[in-house]
Amino acid sequence: MRLAYIALASAAAFFGQIAGASAGPITVGQWYTFGFGTTGSPLSSTCLSTCENGIHPPSVALPSDSPWTFTLPTRGELIVTDAFLPGDQFSLSDHGTFIGDTSTPVIDYNKTCSNDISACLAFSEISKGTFALAAGDHAITGTVIQSPFDGGVGYFEVRAVPEPATMSLLAASLVALGMVSYRRRGRRSF
């Protein structure tokens, strides 16, 4: 029995080293800045030009090149947007399986959303996408489909999405709290 535990622990350590060798763990609920080069290049933690972290909401630099790993306790979503000038488009994968492309951009050199993430998400001409993720472990990578400026900056965030049952429980709890508060106020008035 002890030998089985040792073998299991050794296997876990071995596979953990392999998975962690090139993977960059990220935090769910945090916006990250990624860089990219020409068409066909991977999304990375470095930029060809100066990487500008996003504002509104703020983003941070990635800890390493992809894959960017994380674990979702419930289902979630990956939100990706290009930044500054529209024209770039990305293809995304999870554990090497294609999950989708960001929207087709409309190239307009007279418009920009700069590094304001909220403005980029609202900017109809810029490429962006929201991709559903199941609960569990994920390893996100990406490739540039279009890059008319031969490089740039984008942003992404992973969000956990509460299960419908969790939302129902929250709503029921809020209703119960409201009823208790209403009853207490009613007793004081007599």
Alpha-carbon gap, residue 91 to 141, rounded angstroms: 9
pTM of the model: 0.74
What's the number of domains the chain is made of?
A: 1
CATH number for the domain spanning 149: value is 2.60.120
Chain segment 51-110, per-residue pLDDT in tens: 789 999 999 999 999 999 999 999 999 999 999 999 999 999 999 999 999 999 998 888
167: in domain? yes
The parent domain of residue 134 ranges over 22-183
166 inside domain: yes
The angle formed by the CA atoms of residues 88, 94 and 98, to the nearest 5 degrees, is 65
Residues 6+ apart with CB under 8 A from 76: 28, 132, 133, 135, 158, 159, 160, 161
Q: How do residues 15-24 score in pLDDT, each as one tens digit?
A: 333 333 345 6
Domain assignment present for residue 168? The answer is yes
* 16, part of any domain: no
Inside any domain, residue 56 = yes
Residue 66 resides in a domain? yes
